[in-house]
Copies of this chain bind each other. A is one copy, B any other.
Amino acid sequence: MHDLGYARLDTDRARRTGDPEVVYGAGKTPEQLVGILRTLHAAHPERAVLATRLSDEAMKAVQSEVPGAVLDLEARAATIGPLPEPAGTVAVVSAGTSDAPVAAEAALTARVYGAGVARVNDVGVAGLHRILAARADLDAADCLIVVAGMEGALPSVVGGLTGTPLVAVPTSVGYGASFGGIAALLGMLNSCAPGVTVVNIDNGFGAGVFAARVARNAR
Protein backbone atom coordinates (compact mmCIF):
# COMPACT_ATOMS: atom_id res chain seq x y z
CA MET A 1 0.00 0.00 0.00
CA HIS A 2 1.58 3.33 -1.14
CA ASP A 3 0.40 6.64 0.30
CA LEU A 4 1.06 9.63 -1.99
CA GLY A 5 -0.82 12.10 0.21
CA TYR A 6 -3.51 12.67 -2.45
CA ALA A 7 -4.09 8.94 -3.03
CA ARG A 8 -3.61 5.59 -1.36
CA LEU A 9 -2.52 3.05 -3.96
CA ASP A 10 -3.18 -0.63 -3.49
CA THR A 11 -0.38 -1.93 -5.69
CA ASP A 12 -1.16 -5.57 -5.07
CA ARG A 13 -4.75 -5.45 -6.24
CA ALA A 14 -3.86 -6.42 -9.78
CA ARG A 15 -2.05 -9.53 -8.63
CA ARG A 16 -5.08 -10.66 -6.70
CA THR A 17 -7.68 -10.16 -9.46
CA GLY A 18 -5.67 -10.51 -12.66
CA ASP A 19 -6.99 -7.15 -13.85
CA PRO A 20 -4.74 -4.18 -14.61
CA GLU A 21 -4.45 -1.11 -12.40
CA VAL A 22 -6.74 1.71 -13.50
CA VAL A 23 -6.60 5.43 -12.77
CA TYR A 24 -9.74 7.48 -13.34
CA GLY A 25 -8.34 10.79 -14.53
CA ALA A 26 -11.35 13.08 -14.14
CA GLY A 27 -10.85 15.47 -11.22
CA LYS A 28 -7.15 14.75 -10.80
CA THR A 29 -4.42 17.27 -11.57
CA PRO A 30 -1.74 16.46 -14.19
CA GLU A 31 0.82 16.31 -11.39
CA GLN A 32 -1.24 13.82 -9.43
CA LEU A 33 -1.73 11.65 -12.51
CA VAL A 34 1.95 11.64 -13.30
CA GLY A 35 2.76 10.66 -9.73
CA ILE A 36 0.21 7.88 -9.62
CA LEU A 37 1.24 6.40 -12.96
CA ARG A 38 4.93 6.38 -11.99
CA THR A 39 4.24 4.74 -8.65
CA LEU A 40 1.96 2.06 -10.06
CA HIS A 41 4.32 1.29 -12.90
CA ALA A 42 7.36 1.11 -10.63
CA ALA A 43 5.59 -1.30 -8.30
CA HIS A 44 4.72 -3.76 -11.08
CA PRO A 45 6.61 -2.90 -14.28
CA GLU A 46 5.59 -6.23 -15.78
CA ARG A 47 1.89 -5.35 -15.89
CA ALA A 48 -0.21 -2.70 -17.65
CA VAL A 49 -1.63 0.42 -16.04
CA LEU A 50 -4.53 2.27 -17.68
CA ALA A 51 -5.41 5.96 -17.16
CA THR A 52 -8.74 7.23 -18.53
CA ARG A 53 -10.62 10.52 -18.92
CA LEU A 54 -7.46 12.58 -19.35
CA SER A 55 -7.66 16.30 -20.03
CA ASP A 56 -5.47 17.88 -22.69
CA GLU A 57 -3.13 19.08 -19.97
CA ALA A 58 -2.97 15.64 -18.40
CA MET A 59 -2.16 13.99 -21.71
CA LYS A 60 0.69 16.43 -22.30
CA ALA A 61 2.05 15.90 -18.81
CA VAL A 62 1.90 12.12 -19.12
CA GLN A 63 3.60 12.21 -22.50
CA SER A 64 6.49 14.34 -21.35
CA GLU A 65 6.94 13.11 -17.79
CA VAL A 66 6.07 9.41 -17.79
CA PRO A 67 8.60 7.58 -19.95
CA GLY A 68 7.11 4.60 -21.68
CA ALA A 69 3.52 5.81 -21.47
CA VAL A 70 1.49 5.33 -24.65
CA LEU A 71 -1.28 7.83 -25.37
CA ASP A 72 -4.55 7.01 -27.13
CA LEU A 73 -5.71 10.45 -28.28
CA GLU A 74 -9.13 9.28 -29.47
CA ALA A 75 -9.86 7.52 -26.18
CA ARG A 76 -8.30 10.34 -24.13
CA ALA A 77 -6.41 7.65 -22.24
CA ALA A 78 -2.92 6.33 -21.65
CA THR A 79 -1.30 3.00 -20.86
CA ILE A 80 2.05 2.07 -19.48
CA GLY A 81 3.64 -1.35 -19.21
CA PRO A 82 3.19 -4.37 -21.47
CA LEU A 83 -0.35 -5.24 -22.51
CA PRO A 84 -1.46 -8.79 -21.72
CA GLU A 85 -1.68 -11.43 -24.43
CA PRO A 86 -5.08 -11.04 -26.11
CA ALA A 87 -7.55 -13.86 -25.44
CA GLY A 88 -10.86 -13.98 -27.27
CA THR A 89 -12.27 -11.11 -29.30
CA VAL A 90 -14.38 -8.07 -28.46
CA ALA A 91 -15.93 -6.21 -31.38
CA VAL A 92 -16.65 -2.53 -30.71
CA VAL A 93 -19.35 -1.14 -33.00
CA SER A 94 -20.11 2.58 -33.06
CA ALA A 95 -22.79 4.62 -34.74
CA GLY A 96 -21.44 8.05 -35.56
CA THR A 97 -18.15 9.91 -35.51
CA SER A 98 -19.20 11.76 -32.35
CA ASP A 99 -19.45 8.43 -30.55
CA ALA A 100 -15.84 7.59 -31.42
CA PRO A 101 -14.20 8.70 -28.12
CA VAL A 102 -16.45 6.45 -26.07
CA ALA A 103 -15.93 3.57 -28.48
CA ALA A 104 -12.18 4.10 -28.32
CA GLU A 105 -12.23 4.06 -24.53
CA ALA A 106 -14.18 0.81 -24.62
CA ALA A 107 -11.79 -0.73 -27.13
CA LEU A 108 -8.63 0.27 -25.28
CA THR A 109 -10.06 -0.91 -21.97
CA ALA A 110 -11.03 -4.30 -23.39
CA ARG A 111 -7.53 -4.65 -24.83
CA VAL A 112 -5.80 -3.71 -21.56
CA TYR A 113 -8.07 -6.13 -19.70
CA GLY A 114 -6.81 -8.92 -21.91
CA ALA A 115 -9.08 -9.31 -24.91
CA GLY A 116 -8.38 -8.90 -28.59
CA VAL A 117 -10.37 -6.07 -30.13
CA ALA A 118 -11.95 -5.34 -33.51
CA ARG A 119 -13.46 -1.94 -34.39
CA VAL A 120 -16.52 -1.44 -36.61
CA ASN A 121 -17.08 2.28 -37.04
CA ASP A 122 -19.70 4.55 -38.51
CA VAL A 123 -22.59 2.09 -38.83
CA GLY A 124 -25.66 4.15 -37.89
CA VAL A 125 -29.10 2.58 -38.17
CA ALA A 126 -30.07 4.98 -40.92
CA GLY A 127 -27.55 3.24 -43.17
CA LEU A 128 -28.32 -0.45 -42.87
CA HIS A 129 -25.96 -1.57 -45.65
CA ARG A 130 -22.93 -0.77 -43.49
CA ILE A 131 -24.27 -2.85 -40.63
CA LEU A 132 -25.15 -5.75 -42.88
CA ALA A 133 -21.67 -5.62 -44.40
CA ALA A 134 -20.13 -6.02 -40.94
CA ARG A 135 -22.10 -9.12 -40.08
CA ALA A 136 -19.18 -11.52 -40.26
CA ASP A 137 -17.23 -9.42 -37.76
CA LEU A 138 -20.20 -9.44 -35.41
CA ASP A 139 -20.55 -13.22 -35.55
CA ALA A 140 -16.82 -13.79 -35.08
CA ALA A 141 -16.63 -11.90 -31.80
CA ASP A 142 -17.07 -13.39 -28.32
CA CYS A 143 -18.70 -10.22 -27.04
CA LEU A 144 -20.00 -7.08 -28.74
CA ILE A 145 -19.88 -3.51 -27.45
CA VAL A 146 -22.31 -1.29 -29.34
CA VAL A 147 -21.90 2.46 -28.81
CA ALA A 148 -24.56 4.97 -29.90
CA GLY A 149 -26.03 8.32 -28.93
CA MET A 150 -29.22 10.12 -30.00
CA GLU A 151 -31.99 7.47 -30.12
CA GLY A 152 -29.65 4.59 -29.25
CA ALA A 153 -31.24 2.22 -31.76
CA LEU A 154 -28.08 0.49 -32.99
CA PRO A 155 -28.00 -2.26 -30.33
CA SER A 156 -31.51 -3.35 -31.31
CA VAL A 157 -30.54 -3.68 -34.95
CA VAL A 158 -27.23 -5.41 -34.24
CA GLY A 159 -28.86 -7.61 -31.62
CA GLY A 160 -31.37 -8.76 -34.19
CA LEU A 161 -28.59 -9.87 -36.52
CA THR A 162 -26.53 -12.00 -34.17
CA GLY A 163 -26.66 -14.11 -31.00
CA THR A 164 -23.32 -12.82 -29.66
CA PRO A 165 -23.55 -11.32 -26.13
CA LEU A 166 -24.04 -7.57 -26.58
CA VAL A 167 -23.22 -4.71 -24.20
CA ALA A 168 -24.75 -1.38 -25.21
CA VAL A 169 -23.16 1.97 -24.33
CA PRO A 170 -25.35 5.06 -24.60
CA THR A 171 -23.46 8.27 -25.30
CA SER A 172 -24.31 11.84 -24.47
CA VAL A 173 -24.20 12.72 -28.16
CA GLY A 174 -27.31 14.65 -29.18
CA TYR A 175 -29.20 17.77 -28.15
CA GLY A 176 -32.62 18.89 -26.94
CA ALA A 177 -34.71 15.88 -25.96
CA SER A 178 -31.68 13.59 -25.94
CA PHE A 179 -31.21 14.99 -22.42
CA GLY A 180 -27.50 14.25 -22.29
CA GLY A 181 -27.86 10.61 -23.21
CA ILE A 182 -31.08 9.70 -21.39
CA ALA A 183 -32.91 9.04 -24.66
CA ALA A 184 -30.21 6.62 -25.79
CA LEU A 185 -30.06 4.99 -22.37
CA LEU A 186 -33.81 4.39 -22.29
CA GLY A 187 -33.80 3.14 -25.86
CA MET A 188 -31.17 0.57 -25.03
CA LEU A 189 -32.86 -0.56 -21.80
CA ASN A 190 -36.03 -1.13 -23.80
CA SER A 191 -34.39 -2.87 -26.74
CA CYS A 192 -36.66 -5.35 -28.46
CA ALA A 193 -33.63 -7.54 -29.21
CA PRO A 194 -33.34 -10.08 -26.38
CA GLY A 195 -30.16 -10.22 -24.38
CA VAL A 196 -28.95 -6.63 -24.63
CA THR A 197 -27.32 -5.29 -21.46
CA VAL A 198 -26.49 -1.65 -20.81
CA VAL A 199 -23.95 0.47 -18.94
CA ASN A 200 -24.00 4.09 -17.79
CA ILE A 201 -23.97 6.95 -20.29
CA ASP A 202 -20.51 7.39 -21.87
CA ASN A 203 -19.16 4.50 -19.80
CA GLY A 204 -16.89 2.93 -22.39
CA PHE A 205 -14.60 1.81 -19.62
CA GLY A 206 -17.21 -0.31 -17.86
CA ALA A 207 -18.31 -1.92 -21.10
CA GLY A 208 -14.70 -2.74 -21.92
CA VAL A 209 -14.07 -4.37 -18.56
CA PHE A 210 -17.19 -6.50 -18.82
CA ALA A 211 -16.64 -7.54 -22.42
CA ALA A 212 -13.01 -8.46 -21.81
CA ARG A 213 -14.02 -10.69 -18.95
CA VAL A 214 -16.48 -12.47 -21.21
CA ALA A 215 -14.05 -12.77 -24.09
CA ARG A 216 -11.11 -13.94 -21.97
CA ASN A 217 -13.19 -16.80 -20.67
CA ALA A 218 -14.65 -17.78 -24.05
CA ARG A 219 -13.82 -21.01 -25.82
Contact surface of A with B, Cβ cutoff 8 Å: 6-8, 17-19, 22, 26-27, 95-98, 122, 124-128, 132, 142-143, 150-153, 156-157, 159-161, 163-167, 170, 172, 174-203, 205-207, 209-210, 213-214, 217-219
Nearest 4 CB-CB pairings of A with B: A126-B160, A176-B201, A153-B153, A197-B197
**Residue from the list B98, B195, B218 in contact with A218, Cβ < 8 A:** B218
Q: Which residue of B lies closest to A199 (CB)?
A: B197
**Residue from the list B22, B127, B157 in contact with A128, Cβ < 8 A:** B157
- Tell me if A153 and B177 are in contact (CB < 8 A): no
- Tell me if A127 and B160 are in contact (CB < 8 A): yes
Q: Give this chain's copy count.
A: 8
- Tell me if B194 and A206 are in contact (CB < 8 A): yes
- Tell me if B190 and A184 are in contact (CB < 8 A): yes
Min CB distance A123 to B, Å, is 11
**Residue from the list B185, B192, B198, B205 in contact with A125, Cβ < 8 A:** B192
Q: Which residue of B lies closest to A6 (CB)?
A: B97
Instruction: Give the complex CA separation of A186 and B185 in angstroms.
Output: 10
- Tell me if B128 and A192 are in contact (CB < 8 A): no
Which chain B residues border A193 with CB–CB below 8 Å? 125-126
Q: Which residue, A22, A26, A209, has most C-beta atoms of chain B within 10 A? A: A209
Instruction: Give the complex CA separation of A137 and B203 in angstroms.
Output: 28
- Tell me if B183 and A177 are in contact (CB < 8 A): no
- Tell me if A200 and B213 are in contact (CB < 8 A): no
Asked, given contacts A125-B157, A142-B217, A151-B152, whether A176 binds B183 with beta carbons under 8 Å apart, the answer is: no
Instruction: Give the complex CA separation of A7 and B97 in angstroms.
Output: 8
Q: Which residue of B lies closest to A194 (CB)?
A: B209
Could you list 14 examples of A-B contacts with CB < 8 Å? A17-B163, A125-B192, A126-B159, A128-B161, A151-B188, A153-B156, A165-B213, A172-B176, A176-B180, A177-B200, A178-B186, A182-B186, A195-B209, A197-B206
Instruction: Give the complex CA separation of A184 and B159 in angstroms.
Output: 18
